[in-house]
């Protein structure tokens, strides 16, 4: 019995010092929904580099008072070990999700019971402001209660270190060790001390927003386009607290809010999932944008670190841009304007992740600016900023999953600043009688037509998690020789940290940290990346292809050809990943 994790976890909760109502709830769940019961108890919710994330409910594999409590007590224990004679401070923020405020209050009570000073936001706030606050108030750590763009059933608990970035080794592993040391509820200090809790809010907002305002590169362009019609939707999340204010500070006076999605609501009543990457999620904002003749549509996810964008295309219809397109536009705009303002001196750098479009590498090369290529996850971009502190100046970083960061006063993706700069870019181009869509085509002509797409295969529960791991092991041990009739020339295995040249049978070391990621490069310059999601029961497949665009007038034709190529690759990969060995 002790070797069965499910039985062991159930016995721990039923025989342990949990309240009777919790034990009753467990027995009811077992009787009414055995499958959900098994999923809630077969393992403990993993504490990864981003903290905790999972479905809300009872059990060790769920987000609840007790999993939050153990993680928070572990953080307190770890911080006291690291800073035995210092005054320890932690900033805490939360989003609009169900139980987010409740979980944040539990965390503040436990930390205060451990004599740790808590700066608790009085109301919901965006994640990037929490990252900023950690640095601004010189905290040793920070906590953001959010599950980002996940469906409403989820919540999460992101942990930040003193640099304002999410945890990187060894702190994640050390905190996990402390969590495992906690065997009973009596080891968690539940009774808070309000003397250690300080509410914060508007004063921090003002300082943060002024920092955002300082990023503006073309205030004169905004002045001429102050009435630029912009649609914005916070998708029932935290963006409503700051983005309208930030755009107003930049000088935009004609912002129209999607009022049906303006009220924070953890049930996200108007969308299936509050993810601006999804067209259906953006449909209400797009409809309002078309009806009101707006040239720019912006939306943010619940914790306001991701930004969705739509602009007018060749047919004067609003078209959604993917994260790679947005990153391409903003990175080019910033580098061009830094050059125009004589701010580039060879001592700057930008950053992207290994699954983000490689056109960024070409743009950086053109401007003679170094581009750091890091693992998936914005914490790795933040890590590069810290490594280059007082050596090289960070300009901008981006990732394909709709995340951008401008400047270094925040150390995570920041949709507040990204929305402001996307609006500024649009205004600047309008003064030149052009659009973001036209600029994108010009960049494809100049640097190559890079097109990317992503799909995921979901495999839920214990069996799903095992299937994902088995598939990754199979692809690693017996990789395909070709993908969609194009031979594989190079395999990058980030878990073994080896890059294999298939043609020449040569291997070289990958300098990036270990990660369960496989990347295949084919002879026609396609790039396919496969990795398990770190936050959802999914295996993610990223596809990138490249073509030549000799003239903007050929855009539709080449775009269609590349779209078909991606579809062919996707069909092949779906069969490959879904086929059982």
In 292-435, alpha helices (H): 323-340, 359-366, 378-387, 415-431
**Residues contacting 98, CB < 8 A, separation 6+:** 56, 152, 155, 266, 267
Euclidean distance between CA atoms 136 and 410, whole angstroms: 10
What order of strands is seen across the sheet that includes strand 370-374?
Answer: 370-374, 348-353, 393-399, 403-406
DSSP strand pairing (141-145 vs 230-233) = unpaired
**Residues contacting 291, CB < 8 A, separation 6+:** none
Q: Where are the beta strands (DSSP E) in 276-383?
A: 296-300, 307-312, 318-321, 348-353, 370-374
How many residues would you count in the chain? 581
H or E element: which one contains 527? strand 527-532
Give the Å distances, CA to CA, from 416 to 125, 303, 350, 352, 486.
11, 10, 19, 19, 41
Q: What is the dihedral of CA 144, 147, 149, 150, to 10 degrees?
A: 180
Backbone torsions φ then ψ of 504, nearest 5 degrees: -100, 0
CA angle 70, 131, 428 (to 5 degrees): 150
Closest listed residue to residue 402, CA positions, set 504, 527, 295, 279? 279
| Whether the Cβ atoms of residue 165 and residue 383 lie closer than 8 Å to each other | yes
How does DSSP classify residue 544? E
| Whether the Cβ atoms of residue 264 and residue 274 lie closer than 8 Å to each other | no
Tokens of 255: 């912002």
Euclidean distance between CA atoms 388 and 374, whole angstroms: 14
DSSP strand pairing (498-501 vs 486-493) = antiparallel
CA angle 433, 435, 441 (to 5 degrees): 120
Tokens 């839920």 locate to 460
Tokens of 447: 């640097």
Task: Point out the residues that are catalytic.
Answer: 148
Closest listed residue to residue 303, CA positions, set 247, 237, 357? 237
CA angle 307, 312, 314 (to 5 degrees): 135
| Whether the Cβ atoms of residue 274 and residue 283 lie closer than 8 Å to each other | no
Give exposure, 337-365, as e/b (b: 16+ Cβ within 10 Å). bbeeeeebeeebbbbbbbbbbbbbbbbbe
Say if residue 170 is preceded by a cis peptide, omega within 30 of 0. Answer: yes
């Amino acid at each position: 019995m002790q070797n069965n994790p499910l039985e062991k976890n159930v016995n721990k909760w039923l025989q342990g010092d949990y309240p009777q109502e919790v034990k009753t709830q467990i027995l009811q769940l077992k009787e009414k929904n055995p499958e959900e019961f098994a999923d809630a108890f077969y393992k403990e919710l993993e504490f990864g580099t981003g903290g905790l994330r999972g479905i809300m409910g009872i059990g060790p594999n769920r987000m609840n008072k007790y999993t939050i409590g153990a993680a928070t007590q572990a953080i307190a224990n770890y911080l006291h070990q690291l800073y035995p004679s210092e005054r320890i401070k932690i900033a805490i923020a939360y989003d609009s999700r169900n139980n987010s405020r409740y979980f944040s209050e539990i965390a503040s009570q436990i930390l205060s019971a451990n004599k740790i000073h808590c700066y608790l936001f009085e109301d919901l706030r965006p994640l990037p402001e929490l990252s900023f606050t950690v640095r601004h108030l010189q905290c040793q750590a920070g906590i953001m209660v959010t599950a980002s763009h996940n469906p409403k059933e989820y919540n999460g608990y992101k942990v930040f270190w003193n640099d304002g970035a999410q945890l990187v080794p060894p702190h994640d592993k050390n905190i996990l060790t402390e969590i495992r040391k906690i065997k009973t509820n009596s080891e968690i200090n539940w009774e808070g001390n309000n003397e250690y809790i300080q509410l914060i809010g508007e004063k921090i907002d003002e300082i943060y927003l002024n920092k955002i305002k300082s990023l503006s590169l073309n205030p004169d362009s905004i002045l001429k386009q102050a009435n630029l019609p912009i649609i914005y939707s916070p998708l029932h999340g935290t963006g409503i607290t700051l983005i309208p204010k930030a755009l107003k500070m930049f000088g935009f006076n004609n912002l129209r809010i999607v009022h049906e999605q303006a009220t924070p609501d953890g049930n996200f009543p108007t969308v299936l999932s509050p993810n601006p990457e999804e067209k259906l999620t953006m449909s209400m904002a797009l409809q309002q944008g078309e009806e009101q003749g707006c040239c720019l549509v912006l939306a943010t996810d619940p914790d306001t670190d991701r930004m969705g964008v739509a602009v007018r295309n060749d047919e004067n219809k609003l078209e959604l841009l993917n994260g790679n397109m947005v990153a391409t536009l903003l990175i080019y705009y910033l580098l061009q304007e830094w050059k125009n303002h004589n701010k580039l001196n060879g001592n700057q750098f930008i950053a992207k992740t290994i699954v983000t479009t490689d056109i960024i590498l070409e743009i950086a090369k053109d401007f003679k600016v170094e581009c750091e290529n890091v693992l998936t996850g914005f914490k790795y971009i933040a890590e590069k900023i810290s490594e280059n502190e007082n050596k090289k100046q960070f300009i901008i970083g981006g990732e394909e999953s709709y995340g951008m960061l401008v400047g270094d006063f925040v150390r995570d993706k920041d949709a507040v600043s990204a929305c402001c700069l996307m609006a500024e870019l649009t205004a600047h181009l309008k003064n030149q009688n052009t659009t973001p869509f036209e600029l994108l085509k010009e960049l494809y002509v100049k640097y190559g037509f890079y097109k990317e797409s992503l799909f995921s295969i979901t495999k839920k529960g214990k069996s799903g998690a095992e299937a994902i791991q088995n598939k990754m092991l199979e692809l690693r041990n017996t990789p395909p020789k070709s993908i969609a009739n194009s031979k594989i020339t190079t395999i990058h295995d980030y878990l073994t940290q080896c890059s294999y040249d298939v043609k020449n049978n040569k291997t070289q070391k990958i300098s990036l940290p270990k990660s369960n990621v496989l990347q295949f490069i084919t002879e026609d310059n396609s790039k396919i990346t496969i990795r398990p999601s770190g936050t959802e029961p999914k295996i993610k497949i990223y596809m990138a292809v490249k073509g030549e665009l000799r003239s903007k007038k050929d855009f539709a034709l080449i775009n269609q050809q590349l779209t078909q190529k991606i579809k062919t690759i996707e069909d092949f990969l779906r069969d490959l990943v879904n086929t059982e060995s």
